[in-house]
Amino acid sequence: MSTSSSNEFIVPIQFISIDTDGKIKSSDQKILNLEKGAPIKDAHPFFESVISMFESRATHLKLDCVNMLDCTFDVEVITHKDNSGVIILRDRSDFYKRIQKVAQQRNQSLILNELLELKNDVLKEKEAFKTKFIKNFSEELRSPLTLISAFSSLLLKGDLDLEQTKLVEALKEQSDSIRKLLDDIIELSKLKKGDSKLAEEVFSFKDLLSSIYMNYNAKVSLTNNTFEMNVSKDVPEFLQGDERRIAQVIKNLIENALIFNDGKHIKFEVTENHRRAGKTSLRFQVHHKGTVPKGLGDKYDLEDLEKVNPEGLNFSIVRELVELLDGTLKFNEVDTNHTQQIVNLKVAYPLHEVKLPPKKKSTVEQYKFSEKVKVLIADQNTTTQLTALKVLVSTGNFDTEVYTDPRELLEAVEKREFDLILMSSSISQIDSIELISIIKQFANNSNKKIPIIALTVHTSKESMAAYKAAGFKDVIKKPYTDDELLNTIYKRLKIKKFL
């Protein structure tokens, strides 16, 4: 039936005229063989549909790309008022075959993309869940770590023989490194969640670098290595940006070098690439002997969390941080067994001279009180209870009482006198923010005035504000060291009363 033309420019045409009864009056039979006098609707359902549109009106209708009887036609239907008409068929099978091929490819790839997108959404959801899980889990781990951290530093202050000192030092070192690991994981999960905001504060970059130097010089020399830091003269003394994040990037680079160190020397350099529009482009470079396993520096998705070993965590954090700070990161292998980590960051610097307030010292004053401070500890978690208890008792300045039952606690604040209350974030399922308002109602007049301090792992800006608003004088972040605990307490007590 089809006359496949070798010349695509010649399109076969067939004219069919229809009488007023819908029968075939004449047809030139160029393409379809149609029987004269037969109802056109019997030739194909298409014609049946078309003939029902012959509604005693004069119309001219074009229907492109109609597939029937093994061909693809462009069709024209011309109807007259007397219900007769003409149907014109143009066989454009070859043309539409090519169109079909293109459409086939296009649609298949569109559908594939759609499905990939859907899958991606599911993955993202899963990732968010994992991130949240990891964050909660890590925060749970912080409490027992409080105990280890604080006890170790407490023990080191007492009379220990050399053997014991070494053991405790090891204990402290290990717990500190777990603490760091936890903080890293929490940081990473925050970065992954993408809800981190950048600080925009002016800070002394010089001070930051020198504290980093002191820290790592000590740490590196413990392992019989040397740590060298070079800061080129043109690097600005003050910067304006996220000090903590920038410090984190630098520290992580150095930690990376320490982990995969094969030599005796670690070199850290800071240089300025250029300054433009109030921003300095800084280049941080850490150089060490030893190679970093392939792939560690790669970006990984939480999806592959199982594959990340603790050593890789540092790398992931650096990468996420650098991304957050809109910088670039490169790991180069040089001279076959040296590694060069390079980070470029663009940071704003203050255009005018800056004066920053002097830094506070964080060592604890060695007070000897003449009168003991009566402390009420409200905490269910035996770990943190014990920590606080021991730290306080060790100074000889405190009398402590622990309460785990809210009813007994309320009775105590009603009937007895205290100088200070330390309260963890929840007791017997009662949230400390709720509890503090009840305490304030029950407390006798003297207890109404004493400072109440929260001990908590929830230290986001929002939580801190909520604690303060509820009436807490201060918040101590878990895990805390004994210094942190004591400093906060001394700060919030009216010390003169006890001296």
Partner 1 sequence: MSSKKIVIVGSFGVGKTSLIRRFVDDTFSEDYKVTIGVHILKKTVQLQDHDINLIIWDTEGTDEIEEIRTSYLLGTHGFIYVSDVTRPKTYEKIDEHKQYLSKNFGNVPIFTVGNKSDLLPKGSISQKKEELDFLDILVSAKEGNNVQRLFEKIAKILIS
Residues forming the site for partner 1 (CB under 8 A): 44-46, 48-49, 52-53, 61-68, 72, 96, 99-100, 103-104, 107-108, 110-111, 114-115, 118
Nearest C-alpha neighbor of 391 from the set 154, 149, 213, 78: 154
Residues 6+ apart with CB under 8 A from 124: none
Phi, psi (deg, nearest 5) at residue 390 = -65, -40
Shortest distance (Å) from residue 124 CB to partner 1: 15
Q: For residues 99 and 356, which CB has a smaller minimum distance to partner 1 in the complex?
A: 99
Residue 308's alpha-carbon distances to 262, 321, 430, in angstroms, are 22, 17, 38
- From 124, 184, 467, 169, select the one nearest 313 (Cα to Cα): 184
- Give the DSSP H or E segment for 248: helix 243-259
* Minimum distance, C-beta of residue 33 to partner 1, in the bound complex (Å): 19
- How many angstroms separate the CA atoms of 433 and 412, rounded? 18
Rounded least distance, CB 116 to partner 1, Å = 12
Give the residue with the Cβ less far from partner 1, 66 or 402. 66
Shortest distance in whole angstroms from residue 45 CB to partner 1: 4
What is the closest distance, in whole angstroms, from the C-beta atom of residue 44 to partner 1 in the complex? Answer: 7
Q: Which is nearer to partner 1, 123 or 465 (CB)?
A: 123
Instruction: Characterize 130-142 residue by residue with b for buried, 16 or more Cβ atoms within 10 angstroms of its Cβ, and e for exposed.
Output: bbeebbeebeebb
Helix (H) or strand (E) holding 218: helix 205-222
Contact 486, 385 (CB under 8 A): no
**Exposure class string for 379-388: b at 16+ Cβ within 10 A, else e:** bbbebbbbbb
Pick the closer one to partner 1 by CB: 63 or 305: 63
What backbone phi and psi angles, to 5 degrees, belong to 343? -125, 130
Q: Whose Cβ is closer to partner 1: residue 49's or residue 221's?
A: 49
Pick 114 or 371: Cβ nearer partner 1: 114
CB of residue 84 to partner 1, shortest distance in Å: 18
Count CB-CB contacts under 10 A for residue 60.
Answer: 10
Cis peptide leading into 12, omega within 30 of 0?
A: no
Q: How far apart are CA 498 and CA 266, in angstroms?
A: 50
Concatenated DSSP letters for 357-369? PPPPP-PPP----
d(CA 162, CA 156): 11
Least Cβ distance, residue 115 to partner 1 (angstroms):
7
* Cα distance between residue 421 and residue 412, in whole Å: 11
Q: What angle do CA 399, 439, 489 make, to 5 degrees?
A: 40
Report the distance separating Cα 454 and Cα 432, nearest Å: 8
Reference 443, options 453, 452, 456; nearest CA is: 452
Q: Between residues 33 and 100, which has the closer beta carbon with respect to partner 1?
A: 100
Which one, 105 or 210, has the nearer CB to partner 1?
Answer: 105
Of 19 and 48, which CB lies nearer to partner 1 in the complex structure? 48
Tell me how far, at minimum, the Cβ of 75 lies from partner 1, in Å. Answer: 9
Closer of 43 and 413 to partner 1 (Cβ)? 43
Please, what is the minimum distance in Å from the beta carbon of residue 31 to partner 1? 16
CB of 63 to partner 1, least distance (A): 5
CA separation for the pair 422, 359 (Å, rounded): 27
Q: How far is the CB of 239 from partner 1 (least distance, A)?
A: 47
C-beta of 74 vs 184, nearer to partner 1:
74
